[in-house]
Structure 1
């Protein structure tokens, strides 16, 4: 699909986005410009990214955005308070994906980058509850696995255990 990208994750994410979001809607993508925001642009979506500000501390870009859709692909697990970010969003549509908590693996923690850690690895019901509590109604969701070609019990379990969860939600009326 796209060179040097996580093919399965990007393919599923793009298909889910195409199913729910028309290309005439402005999108605010939480996080710095990244390979997937470039894919969205190459597919005809109008995308603006946040600029690397600490979204736990500074939601000014989110609050001032006139985007009709907010996307947050593997962002909320890095935030201490995704609740505050979700409350700050003015858009009426959101597409969110998160890695799921796996009972057989510890939360991700970079040994070299203090910012590259997961404060949360959600179970699906936790993300659902967070969205409901912040005024969103889930319209659709999908889960998928992330198999690897490594040998061992954990790699085998990754063939059968969903690793990612994505939702499309709208603001409650």
Structure 2
């Protein structure tokens, strides 16, 4: 059997986790505009629709009107000021979401060129779990992985064994 190649380690782990919990026959609303990961999901047989770039802090129409069975959110919630609000509004019964974890040795991400591309939250795993539970979700599975970088220094060494990403599969509480 051959090993599939992906553009990044993050995509490899995300797709493996998604395949573990979601069937390709289930419809997916992916929060965020079409991107390399959502295109890869589609190429692997998933039925994916993306949101259209609306401000998900104030416009919940994409999740309140969606008839999809699953919502995915890969590295989206850290960009929102109030992720609790949209999490409560999701009508689908299944959620697969990932976030970058807070790294004690690195500041929160903030783009120098794009005023919208910044992290308002970099969660610890327990904080994200609590947020999901408060929004009415029950976590069924989770995973973490590292994101080593090919640079020299203390931070790159720490990145080789400190988890950077956290992903969960959750179902709406009945």
Question: What is the TM-score normalised by the length of structure 1?
Answer: 0.97
SS in 1 for 2:143: strand
Superposition map of 1:13-52 within 5 A: 13-52=14-53
Structure 1 position 160, deviation (Å): 0.7
Q: Give me the whole-angstrom Cα distance separating, in 2, the residues matched to 1:12 and 1:111.
A: 28
1:148 has 2:149 as partner: yes
Deviation for aligned residue 1:112: 1.1
Supply the distance in 2 between the matched residues of 1:47 and 1:110 (Cα, whole angstroms). 28
- The runs of 5 or more residues in structure 2 that have no matched partner are none
Which residue number corresponds to residue 93 of structure 2?
92
Q: Which residue of 2 aligns with 1:64?
A: 65
Q: Which residue of 1 aligns with 2:131?
A: 130
Give every structure 1 segment of 4 or more consecutive aligned residues whose post-TM-superposition deviation is greater than 3 Å: none
Matching residue of 2:120:
119
Which string of whole-angstrom CA distances, capped at 9 and with x for unpartnered residues, describes residues 9-41 of structure 1?
Answer: 101000000000001100000000000000110
Question: Deviations for 1:65-108, whole angstroms, at most 9, x for unmatched residues?
Answer: 00100000000000001000101100000000000000000000
* CA distance in 2 between partners of 1:25 and 1:162 (Å): 30
Cα RMSD (Å) of the superposition? Answer: 0.6
